[in-house]
Amino acid sequence: MIYYFTLPGLGGSDNNHWQSHFERVLPNCKRIEQENWEKPNREDWINTVEKAVEGYDLSQVVFISHSLGGITLAHWVKKFQKKIKGALIVAPPNLNDVSSEYELDSFLPVPEEVIPFPTVFVASANDPWASYEASTKLAGQWGSELIGIGDAGHINSDSGFGEWKVGQEFLDKIK
């Protein structure tokens, strides 16, 4: 049985966000709730991820991350050296451009090591948080399969991504 965990980014994911829709339709899917969505701290966030998956068979765990959740995932892998079944990583920000503005310096430097399990990295051509070039570079460093979806903004509810059936198809690529 696969266990899905969503990892939202800064501010969490509202009720209309595609991650919230995934939580409602995927079996065994739950959100990893961070203590502070507005002022994230890397150590707090990755320790929360670690606590959330304690007791699970990690070979059956799939993370579904958005934005800063993807950066959190990479830091969790680096700190805990664990492998899961796979991850869908959607629109991680280029923190070199935005970290100070949003008080995200604790997430720097962003890990550049290959993530040791299958990952599908979805990027937009006009994401205000990361250029497509920056996303392409990060996907390559992480060893992820990159899927570009054109002009899709930050791939969130503000960009019109609610139910996002195509995103569920991307999730199916993780075997």
Query: Per residue in 155-175, pLDDT tens?
Result: 999 998 888 989 999 999 887
Query: What is the model's pLDDT at position 102?
Result: 75
- The dihedrals phi and psi of 61, each to the nearest 5 degrees, come to -100, 135
Q: Mean per-residue pLDDT for 20-25? A: 96
Query: What is the model's pLDDT at position 100?
Result: 66
Give the range among 39-43, 69-73, 134-138, 164-168 with minimum mean pLDDT.
Answer: 164-168
Q: What is the CATH number of the domain that holds 163?
A: 3.40.50.1820
Token output for 80: 């805990």
Amino acid at 166: V
Res. 99: pLDDT tops 70: no
Q: Mean per-residue pLDDT for 62-89? A: 98
Dihedral of the alpha carbons of 97, 16, 11, 47, in degrees to the nearest 10: -100
Alpha carbon of 37 to those of 5, 32, 34, 147: distances in Å? Answer: 16, 11, 6, 27
Query: Per residue in 64-74, pLDDT tens?
Result: 999 999 999 99
The whole domain housing 72 covers 3-171
What is the number of domains present in the chain? 1
- Which residues are CB-contacts of 60 (< 8 A; sequence separation ≥ 6)? 1, 2, 3, 85
Query: Does pTM surpass 0.85?
Result: yes
Res. 103: pLDDT tops 90: no
What is d(CA 114, CA 130) in angstroms, rounded to the nearest whole number?
19
